[in-house]
Structure 1
Amino acid sequence: MKFVDEAIIKVHAGDGGNGCISFRREKFIPFGGPDGGDGGHGGSVWLVADEGLNTLIDFRHQRSFKAQRGQNGMGSDMYGKGGEDTDIRVPIGTVVTNVDTDEVIGDLTVHGQRLLVAQGGKGGLGNIHFKSSVNRAPRKSTPGTPGDVRELKLELKLLADVGLLGFPNAGKSTFIRAVSAATPRVADYPFTTLHPNLGVVSLGTDQSFVIADIPGLIEGAAEGHGLGIQFLRHVSRTRLLLHLVDIAPIDGTDVVEQVRAIEHELQKFDAELLDRPRWLVLNKADVLPEDERQAVAEDIVARLGWTQPWFLVSAIARDNTMNVCQHIQRFFESQREAHEGRTDMSPGDVRLRGEASRD
């Protein structure tokens, strides 16, 4: 499986160098004072968000990372060199958790963002620091402190505006191909998509949003069945969910039951997801006679008691797909305007229902 969204790594910051015990020994100065330098600080370990990465697959091959140790102090008041930091590049959207304490250390959401995950040890003090009026030749120094050692859990969560939900083979990959430049693999068998695909939908200048093709779910996904929780977590950051269903499944499965099954998995995984805007997209309309499509769609919507926007599309024929995207763009614009305190847009522009699917 190409996609890896979870990894366990061990990070070891560099230890601090030891302080030095040394005395000046120069010609004609047989009893010089202490000149032992301090040890250098150990290098730290940082995680750095990189927009060029989209999986955690590299951590299959390397799971341990160690920063450089600080150099020991030396005579002649020479301090040890500090150890170099180690930067570990991770995809944007990586959540970092301390395995031992289950504490979330940080969340990397912006390209170039840096997160300190293991602090380097401090350098030890040389004997130059212990000279006093009563101890002119101290034979004392301190060792460097050890660097932090942690076991970290990395979890990747996609950063997308829209997430596509649905059972395997519902047509999600075909939909994202139809509305964006993304080219996910498409085939007529379940689990074609083994890793999330991101596509940018562009509707004009300054009008675009990111859509994520989430791999198909099955019943029991919240307990880890199938590809399970590995992919459910990705919907937690999206602003809008598009629930794609096959309007006429080949196996005769009831569409309403399919929708309810996905809702049940969302409920078990995170009840708050059911309160998020979720629009219904009845896909593969082209398999039905043209004069029957609307009636079948309206029957499904009625039996569901669906109150949010819904659309009837054929992703493979690209029929009505851009209409869906235009409504999504308007929805995001209305959200932004509401956030800015503007009220010049009527609610009807946001909560579009069955009539919108026939535009």
Structure 2
Amino acid sequence: MDSARTRKKHDSNVRFPHRLKRHFKVTFKSSAIRLKDGQLLLSTGDKKRPVALRWAFDLPISVEIGWKETGGYELRAMYTDSRGVQVPLGEKVAGIDIGELRIAAVYDGEQVDLHSGRLIRARNHYANKHQAKLDEQISHKKNLRKSGSRSSKCLRRLQRARRLLRAKIKRQNKDQLRKQARMVVSTLHERRVQTVAVGDLSNIRDSIDYGKKANQKLHLWAFGQFLAELRSQATKFGLVIKIVDESFTSQTCPWTGARKKPKGRTFVSPCGQHHMDRDGVGAVNIRAKYLESVAGKGTAYGRTPTLPWTPVMAGMAPVTCGKRYRVLPVQGRDSQGVEGSTRP
């Protein structure tokens, strides 16, 4: 816009760059917000001319003014979440298989929900490529620098750009994991689930060796952060997280109990009659393992299970639906941008 103003003095045809109004917002931090005599005062840099609004609520921690999708400006006030712990609505048990491509496969006893992790994978891929370019430029600048001399401004700018890149990607991934964990836990709460069994991945990196590219993806796998977010959100809804050994859970047929290593993303039972997503199979078996450990005896596998909790009903694999998350919110939907369910 500064360059457009300069050129406009000599050329009347110059136009300012066009941006949609929703790209612009004004943010006021806590230090720029005051509450006095029923008015919310937002600092503008001039003590005598703040933005004054009639306010019947408490002092927010931050405020932003932005453009609504339906037209017009709106003021958004943020407060600390002071809601108490909710009471579980039922006593059901669910199983969760945490993955890299699918951040979570959730089985609540009736159906399997697949939550995509492609957005985080794509973001990490972009960060790695961009950081490799910065590392190459930084290495070149360091080689040109004489021993004992001070680093150049260009080198410091490159190093700062690398730090900011990693910090930005870390913040974005953390926000994404929190949103997806909230979606998983809130959905299970609505379906009357009280206990959530999650597969144990604590030592998985000790045995990972699938080649250079695959290892890079797996070592960027944020399963620990996602589990921490699940525990944090589960506390708010009164749910209990239980860690279960997930050995062979993606290779065991929930109906017959036979093992078969899947090829690709689809698990086909040894009898060839049952087809299901391999992550969904893992979630079903993790739930069954937990129920077996609680009972202390019996089995949830086979055509005649001795436990009353049969993971697969009537010989049919449970319905599988998918949930994806976009970077930007979709008009008319929540801020998490959840797409409609898709069935394979």
Q: Same fold by TM (over 0.5)?
A: no
Highest RCO, 1 vs 2 (Cα 8 Å, sep ≥ 6): 2
- When the two structures are superposed, what TM-score results if normalisation uses the length of structure 1? 0.26
